[in-house]
Structure 1
């Protein structure tokens, strides 16, 4: 008899208490909020004014991230883990009041923090 948990790359199923990583965490300086779910991390940068694509610069690297909004560096430094650069993206929320950055981890596992 095979014991243990079900195998494979399951889709959306009842994870039974595994949503502790889905709690959104705020940066110490309050500039952004982030949360992780599986291999994905979403970082949100709220804005008091409506942003356009020209206002935003996001530079993805395997182990670091730089986010600049309207010439102000919001985030710049080493990530807690590594990401798949080709699978990372960003977008503006409807109305431009929030920048959303999506990161894909190279390997699953919880990050204790977003940055080192």
Structure 2
């Protein structure tokens, strides 16, 4: 099953959702601001993406620039920050099996859709 972590107010996220709808493949939509991933789900997502937690953070968000921009936190602490402020999680994220991508481009979406 394909899962998209989606934010309806984000243009890139809406584009990724449209691509999934047009693919004809079954998928699930998780509105991650309303139903944020828990710590273990977030760790699993980061592992599937093959990145460090800090790379999943939206650094242009006000909550980041005002509270965390100059902080040097551990991976575990960055995960806790995303749990506390899900708006900081980069979007959209599409997961299928053991693969995950930050689907901000058509190429990335196609990595999942094949």
Task: Tell me whether the two structures share a fold, i.e. TM-score over 0.5.
Answer: no
Instruction: State the TM-score, normalized to the length of structure 1.
Output: 0.24
Q: TM-score, normalised by structure 2?
A: 0.24
Greater C-alpha Rg: 1
Q: Which has the higher strand share?
A: 1
Q: Which one scores higher on RCO, CA 8 angstroms, separation ≥ 6?
A: 2
More helix by share: 2
